[in-house]
Amino acid sequence: MPKAKAKPPEELTFEQALEELQQVVAGLESGELALEDSLKLFERGQGLADRCSQLLEQAELRLRQLVPDERGGYREEDLEVEE
C-alpha cells in the first residue's frame, strides 16, 4: 500500500523492495482502488521492481574477514581469495 512515508525505492534493501512489491500486486489484485490510487500503486510497483532487478544485477558478494586487533578484540578487513 502506498503510504505518505514510503521511502524512495533507491533507499530500500532488496528484501524490503521485494516484500513491498508483493504487497503492491496484492493491492492491485483487490480491484478496490480508484484510478488515481491504482496508478500510483502501479508506478510504485514498477519502481520497486526496478530496484530489485538493479540490486540483483549489480550485487557483488562482499568478502570480509575477522582479524585480531591490539586490544584483544577483532576488526573486519577485506578478504582476498584466489579462485
Partner 1 sequence: MTQLSFSGYAPRTWTIGDLVHYLRQMVEADFRLQDLWVKGEVSNLSRPGSGHLYFTLKDADASLRCVMWRSDAARQRYLPRDGETIEAHGHLGVYESAGQVQLYADTLRPTGEGELFQAFLRLKARLEAQGLFDPARKRPLPEWPLRIGIATSPAAAALRDVIHVLRRRFPLAEIILAPTPVQGPEAPAGIVTAVRALNRHALPDVILLVRGGGSLEDLAGFNSEEVALAIAASEAPVVSGIGHETDFTIADFVADVRAPTPSVAAELITPDRLELAEAVSGARVRSQRLFEQSLQARRDALREARLELAAGAPRARMANARQRVDEMQLRALRGSRSQLALRAASVSGLAQTLRAVGPPAVLARGYAVVQQAASGAIVRSAAQVRPGESLDIRVHDGTFPATAGAPKKG
CA distance linking residue 67 with residue 64, whole number of Å: 10
Three-state DSSP at 33 gives coil
CB of 52 to partner 1, least distance (A): 4
Q: Judged by CB under 8 A, does residue 45 bind partner 1?
A: yes
How many residues belong to the chain? 83
CB of 60 to partner 1, least distance (A): 6
CB of 5 to partner 1, least distance (A): 21
Q: Which residues contact 59 (CB under 8 A, 6 or more apart)?
A: 14
The set of cell numbers assigned to 53 is 532487478
Max Cα–Cα distance, the chain, nearest Å: 62
Site for partner 1 in 62-81 (CB under 8 A): 62-66, 73-74, 76, 79, 81
Three-state DSSP at 77 gives strand
Q: Judged by CB under 8 A, does residue 2 bind partner 1?
A: no
Residues near partner 1 (CB under 8 A) are 13-15, 18, 21-22, 24-25, 28-29, 31-35, 38-39, 41-42, 45-46, 49, 52-53, 55-56, 59-66, 73-74, 76, 79, 81-83
